[in-house]
């Protein structure tokens, strides 16, 4: 009897602080704090008010709202733009399928993507580039996500099929975007016409997909007991990490051509992608190496004792533990790769930032509107990298490796 009474006493959680108590504890806990609060509140309100009133009333967003297609796909031929649409729709379809299969974080992403599509499709404004077809396309993307969701719920659809599909999308996307020579349906589109968010995402996604395996290979190379291999990997990693990305970009855009046969020509965008990949791979390699070092030797010995081959030990025992341990670092590396893709502007590629710059420079009138354009660009980059860091934090919590336990 007494025990249960005590237990009831004990399991009572402390009451959440009331609003008044919260204010007292967080804003007026001491004289110094109170003074600071009183001084800061008007400043914060003044700043918020001036930013909001500027954005709503005095800012001229023409240079942003006039060119939605330029910002998204650059100068990609307007009659071929359906190719980008097909890629986008298939990405949405697979997003929906993955949501149906795994749920969790993918659910939030799918819902957010669908919501953005619906809201854009129903925007009550007249815009030449937001015609009936575009609205229909955006609306159908929402349907795509839903169709995907129901496909994903079917048990017969195997997870491996979905993963293979995800890996096939980038390859198909590149083929579809570049087109095939002498083809009626999908003629060649030179990469000089690609631009905007399309290029930013291609560089970021391509860089992530290619740099990660290369980074893992380099990490194993550095830990290898073959002196030639480990020496080469170490020098490669340290040199790349010791110089800025701009240098690597220039190396691939100017110097690389000198060391290849005269007649060979590598596309400008591909060279940029190679530079971003190599740069990011060196950093990923160091992250992965940290993970490899954190795997206890006993695990490897146990796997060997069970008679697993070297390859099997690496793939099924070492790598999963190593990658899990350094997932936050890898996620951070991917976010910084996404931000670093902006540097391709310096070698003259029109990514999202580059398109903004060319719009500003295209018309003396728009030079006066550069504030709006740059703030818009900063906002878009901010939203995407913030979402990426949010996703990585949710993933860490889901996998139980969050450090803020």
Residues that bind other proteins (CB under 8 A): 26-27, 29, 33, 36-37, 40-41, 44, 225-229, 232, 239, 241-247, 250-251, 254-255, 258-262, 335, 339-343, 345-346, 353, 357, 370-371, 374-375, 377-378, 381-382, 385-386, 389
How far is the C-alpha of 272 from the C-alpha of 345, rounded, in Å? 10
Beta carbon nearer to other proteins, 135 or 339: 339
The count of other CB atoms within 10 Å of the CB of residue 220 is: 19
How far is the C-alpha of 215 from the C-alpha of 140, rounded, in Å? 38
Beta carbon nearer to other proteins, 273 or 337: 337
Residue 67's nearest CA partner among 52, 78, 56 is 78
**Long-range pairs for 352-358 at CB < 8 Å and ≥24 separation?**
352/71, 352/196, 352/197, 352/199, 352/200, 352/377, 352/380, 352/381, 353/200, 353/377, 353/381, 354/195, 355/70, 355/71, 355/74, 355/195, 355/196, 356/71
Give least dist CB 382 to other proteins, A. Answer: 5
Beta carbon nearer to other proteins, 20 or 228: 228
Beta carbon nearer to other proteins, 82 or 381: 381
Beta carbon nearer to other proteins, 10 or 258: 258
How far is the C-alpha of 111 from the C-alpha of 102, rounded, in Å? 14
How far is the C-alpha of 122 from the C-alpha of 130, rounded, in Å? 10
Collapsed DSSP state (helix, strand, coil) of residue 204: helix
Collapsed DSSP state (helix, strand, coil) of residue 307: coil
Beta carbon nearer to other proteins, 121 or 375: 375
Give least dist CB 141 to other proteins, A. Answer: 26
Give least dist CB 88 to other proteins, A. Answer: 23
Collapsed DSSP state (helix, strand, coil) of residue 346: helix
How far is the C-alpha of 246 from the C-alpha of 347, rounded, in Å? 9
Give least dist CB 264 to other proteins, A. Answer: 9
Give least dist CB 384 to other proteins, A. Answer: 8
Give least dist CB 8 to other proteins, A. Answer: 30
Give least dist CB 358 to other proteins, A. Answer: 13
Beta carbon nearer to other proteins, 188 or 397: 397
């Amino acid at each position: 009897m007494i025990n249960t009474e005590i237990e009831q006493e004990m399991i009572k959680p402390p009451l959440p602080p009331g609003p008044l108590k919260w204010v007292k504890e967080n804003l007026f806990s001491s004289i110094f704090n109170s003074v600071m609060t009183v001084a800061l509140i008007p400043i914060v309100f003044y700043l918020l008010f001036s930013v909001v009133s500027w954005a709503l009333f005095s800012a001229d967003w023409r240079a942003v709202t006039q060119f939605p297609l330029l910002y998204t796909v650059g100068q990609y031929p307007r009659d071929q733009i359906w190719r980008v649409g097909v890629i986008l729709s298939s990405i949405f379809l697979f997003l929906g399928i993955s949501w149906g299969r795994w749920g969790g974080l993918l659910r939030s992403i799918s819902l957010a993507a669908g919501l953005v599509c619906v809201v854009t499709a129903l925007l009550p404004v007249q815009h030449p580039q937001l015609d009936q077809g575009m609205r229909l396309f955006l609306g159908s993307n929402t349907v795509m996500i839903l169709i995907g969701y129901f496909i994903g719920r079917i048990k017969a659809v195997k997870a491996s099929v979905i993963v293979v599909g995800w890996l096939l999308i980038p390859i198909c996307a590149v083929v579809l975007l570049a087109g095939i020579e002498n083809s009626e349906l999908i003629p060649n589109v030179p990469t000089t016409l690609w631009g905007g968010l399309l290029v930013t995402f291609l560089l970021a996604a391509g860089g992530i997909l290619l740099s990660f395996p290369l980074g893992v290979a380099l990490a194993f190379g550095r830990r290898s007991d073959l002196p030639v291999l480990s020496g080469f990997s170490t020098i490669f990693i340290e040199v790349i990490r010791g110089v800025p990305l701009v240098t690597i970009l220039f190396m691939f855009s100017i110097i690389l051509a000198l060391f290849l046969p005269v007649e060979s020509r590598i596309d400008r965008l591909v060279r940029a992608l190679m530079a971003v990949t190599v740069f990011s791979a060196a950093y990923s390699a160091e992250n992965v190496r940290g993970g490899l070092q954190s795997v206890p030797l006993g695990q490897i010995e146990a796997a060997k004792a069970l008679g697993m081959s070297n390859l099997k030990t690496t793939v099924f025992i070492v790598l999963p533990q190593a990658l899990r341990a350094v997932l936050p670092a890898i996620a951070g590396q991917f976010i910084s790769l996404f931000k670093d893709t902006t540097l391709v502007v310096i070698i003259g590629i029109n990514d999202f930032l580059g398109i903004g710059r060319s719009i500003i420079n295209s018309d003396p009138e728009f030079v006066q509107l550069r504030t709006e354009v740059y703030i818009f660009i900063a906002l878009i980059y901010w939203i995407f990298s913030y979402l990426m860091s949010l996703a990585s934090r949710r993933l860490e919590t889901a996998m139980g490796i969050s450090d803020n336990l």
